[in-house]
Structure 1
Amino acid sequence: MPADATPDPYRDPLAFGQRMQLLRTRRGMTRETLGGLVGKSASWVKQIENGRLRTPKLDVVLAVAEALRVRELSELTGDRAHHVPLFGGPGHRRLPAVAAAVDALALSDDRPAPPADHLRARLARAWSARHAAPDHREVLGGLLPELIRDARLAARQAQSAADRRSAQAVLAEVYSLAQFFLAYQPDGHLLWRVAERAMVAAQESEDPHAIGMAAWLTAQAHRDAGPGHYDAADQVTHEVLDHLGAFLPDGPDEVRAIYGALQFEAAYTAARRGESGRAWSRWDRAVSVAERLPADYFHPVTSFGRAILGAHAVTVAVELHAGGESARQAARAEATAIPSRPRRARHRIEQARAYHLDRRPDAALATLAQAHAAAPDTVRWNGYAKRIVLEETAAPSPERRRRAARLAVDIGLLTA
């Protein structure tokens, strides 16, 4: 092997601490930051990395994996005998078709574009199908390729300035729909490409609702990229909140709802930073917006409305690592009021995280089973759900291990 070649880490295996250090530095994360994310000190991180402390127990290993956002547990442990995907996986079977539609230029496509009203009706049906289907990624994966091609064609063939703006608004929303499919898929570059195209199309449309939706999803993409991107998430959120403020007095409910959803995004990012006062203050603002919407209002993209406020409170408490408070919020928030199956399943996962933080593993497993019943696709691709299930497969209680193992089989972590 050449002297300057990169060694094969599996031929001369790296210790757990060395892998942790490699992954930490690759993400540009300090020891203080990693320690804070897993409830340890910077000194503990240093001692693990230099081998003075032994490999920690499974719950801590999974917490480190979550903080470092590794997609495959063997990246951290070095054990290739057990492949355990965490925040991604091999990819949905429809991912190649969606990616091909996003990447295609289709400059030779000269067929007449579908009318704008036809595209909007298809888009509305796609959102409805996503909210109603337990296998929502399968449904979206089947609809998106043709919808992406037709929406781009309509934007390219628009004749007047007004028609072009209208077509760009539809295209931005199609890209927003695509982001729901691409979340937690093993192609981060494709997700960012779609997010950026959605924002460009939204700005071209000059439509405040389209701009708000694109910002809502872009802020999430920044936040999920890690602590180094929290400032970018805040910048997008606050800039678009300022922009939308002028449309609120006479604007439609959908603009008010996206404004409320962005207030919650600001709360979510603040909670990730550990800024409790700011997080709950922004949540209060989201509540104030929701209370000015009709009681049964449900935003078709963000799920924002009065029914979602309890779920948002659980998320804030969980991200602040407030075990007792998150469990209280989880017990108070009623999931059945949320009309969207995937959003209801996501709320159940957040409730499970709350019970897990509060050291109530039986409640956490039972709630994850409810999430799986609501929308298996949501649980199957969610790293937090996988972490809890994996941890409980090594629980001291035989009954809890059996329950966790059954759930692990259901969501594809283990084979029967």
Structure 2
Amino acid sequence: MPVDATPDPYADPLKFGQRVQVLRERRGMTRAQLADFIAVSPHTLKKIENGQQQAPGIDMVMRIAEALRVRDLADLTGLPEMHVDLFVGPGHPRLAAVKAAIDSFSLGASIEPPPVAHLEARLHAAWKARHGAKNHREAIGKLLPTLIRDAEALVRHADTGNERRAAQSLLAQTYSLSQFFIAYQPDSSLLWRVAERGMVAAQDSGDPHAIGVAAWLLAQAHRDSGARHFDAADAINLEAVRFLDPLLPDASDDVLAIAGALEFELGYTAARRRDTGTAWRHWDKANTMADRLPADYYHPITSFSQAIMGAHAVTVAVELHQGGESVRQAARADTTVIKSKPRRARHRIEEARGYQLDGQPDVAIATLQKAYEAAPDTIRYNGYARRIILEEAESKQAQRRRRASELAVEVGILAA
């Protein structure tokens, strides 16, 4: 390797601090930004990276891993025995079948498409299963291969422009459902194919609601790829908001809700940047849109509603690392009205992050247990939950360590 080449932490036996520096630079983060995320001074982080300070304990290692979105602890520590995936969950048993359906192209007319009403009913049932099942990936994973095949066939067999646009709208919705299944699984290229195909199908449909949903999901794919992609996420969100804005005075509840969900996503990304004012400003805009919706309304895809805004407030506070504020928002949020089990579990995870930020690790573990009870598939694939559980499984407090270890076994992070 040339002397001026950047060392590869995945191949070279680097020290911990060197790995932190290389991975930080690959993420496009400055030392000051990472130091802020992990709550140390830039001077302390510099000493860690230069090897002038002893390698930190497990709690700091986990915080660094979260900030750098390290997928495997071994990549950060250089220790093969610490091979633990953080932000990628285990590959679901049905992932291969879903991938095969997405990757397969039938160019002939051998597959007879179902009636439009039949496919609409199946998609409605699939979304209902996604929100109602504890093991939601299993529930939708077994439905997706035939849904993908039939939605693509419907597009191919469309005879008129109106039929094709309607079919493209259903195909976009099918890809949206697929993205929920694929997210946080070990196949990022598949996720990108689905997100981009969904956007193309939605644009071809001309359906404002389908376009809004596809933009919402594509922006999330960008944002979850790291800080260097935040601008791309914002650009997609802003373009979708501008596209929908003229329609809002007379919009249906679904269009108004997806516009509100996009507005909140702008706040979420701002919070990830630690831009407090912008984050809460977009939350306020989203909340205003939510107030225009019926009290019992619940968006069938994003879960956007009046009820969800309390959960969104917790998320903003957590991403801003405002521990006390996140706990206050958690106390105000009424989780019992969150109908979707996966979304309820996600909210519990955000609450747990807030409790840990606020120095209440025992409450954090108890809250993660509630998340597991609501939807095991959600916590099993969530990197934040996995980090907290693994960190507390190393606690010096025996009872806390035992509870965290038991939950780690239930979630499948540690062997029994």
- What TM-score comes out, normalization by structure 1 length? 0.96
User: Could you say which residue in structure 1 is the equivalent of 2:306?
Assistant: 306
Deviations 1:4-56 (A, max 9, x none): x9999799732111222232233333322222222233333332222111111
For the residues of structure 2 that align with 1:227 and 1:9, how far apart are their CA atoms?
Answer: 20
Question: Which segment drifts farther, 292-301 or 49-58?
Answer: 49-58
For the residues of structure 2 that align with 1:388 and 1:6, how far apart are their CA atoms?
Answer: 32
For the residues of structure 1 that align with 2:38 and 2:7, how far apart are their CA atoms?
Answer: 29
For the residues of structure 1 that align with 2:173 and 2:93, how far apart are their CA atoms?
Answer: 23
SS of alignment partner, residue 303 of structure 1: coil
For these two proteins, the number of residue pairs brought into alignment is 416
Q: In the alignment, residue 256 of structure 2 is paired with which amino acid?
A: R
Change (3 A) 1:167 1:407: same
Deviations 1:280-313 (A, max 9, x none): 1111111111111111000010001111011001
After TM superposition, the structure 1 = structure 2 runs for residues 167-316 of structure 1, keeping only pairs within 5 Å, are: 167-316=167-316
Change (3 A) 1:80 1:316: same
For the residues of structure 2 that align with 1:281 and 1:410, how far apart are their CA atoms?
Answer: 39
CA RMSD between the two structures: 2.0
Q: In the alignment, residue 77 of structure 1 is paired with which amino acid?
A: T
Q: In the alignment, residue 226 of structure 2 is paired with which amino acid?
A: G
- The answer to whether the Cα contact below 8 Å between 2:155 and 2:167 also exists between their aligned partners in 1 is yes
User: Could you say which residue in structure 2 is the equivalent of 1:355?
Assistant: 355
For the residues of structure 2 that align with 1:345 and 1:409, how far apart are their CA atoms?
Answer: 18
For the residues of structure 2 that align with 1:288 and 1:227, how far apart are their CA atoms?
Answer: 28
Shift of residue 342 of structure 1?
A: 0.3
Question: Which segment drifts farther, 376-385 or 184-193?
Answer: 184-193
SS of alignment partner, residue 69 of structure 1: coil
* Percent of matched pairs sharing the same residue: 61
- The answer to whether the Cα contact below 8 Å between 1:184 and 1:382 also exists between their aligned partners in 2 is yes
SS of alignment partner, residue 247 of structure 1: helix
Change (3 A) 1:162 1:385: same
Unaligned runs of 5+ in 2: none
User: Could you say which residue in structure 1 is the equivalent of 2:415?
Assistant: 415
After TM superposition, the structure 1 = structure 2 runs for residues 142-161 of structure 1, keeping only pairs within 5 Å, are: 142-161=142-161
Change (3 A) 1:17 1:210: same
Question: Which segment drifts farther, 82-91 or 257-266?
Answer: 82-91
For the residues of structure 2 that align with 1:2 and 1:35, how far apart are their CA atoms?
Answer: 30
For the residues of structure 1 that align with 2:49 and 2:203, how far apart are their CA atoms?
Answer: 46
For the residues of structure 1 that align with 2:293 and 2:7, how far apart are their CA atoms?
Answer: 59
Change (3 A) 1:8 1:131: closer
- The answer to whether the Cα contact below 8 Å between 2:318 and 2:353 also exists between their aligned partners in 1 is yes
Shift of residue 395 of structure 1?
A: 1.3
SS of alignment partner, residue 14 of structure 2: coil
- The answer to whether the Cα contact below 8 Å between 2:9 and 2:23 also exists between their aligned partners in 1 is no
Change (3 A) 1:355 1:8: closer
- The answer to whether the Cα contact below 8 Å between 2:7 and 2:22 also exists between their aligned partners in 1 is no
Q: In the alignment, residue 409 of structure 2 is paired with which amino acid?
A: V
- The answer to whether the Cα contact below 8 Å between 1:71 and 1:89 also exists between their aligned partners in 2 is no
Change (3 A) 1:26 1:12: closer
Question: Which segment drifts farther, 195-204 or 43-52?
Answer: 43-52
User: Could you say which residue in structure 1 is the equivalent of 2:32?
Assistant: 32
- What TM-score comes out, normalization by structure 2 length? 0.96
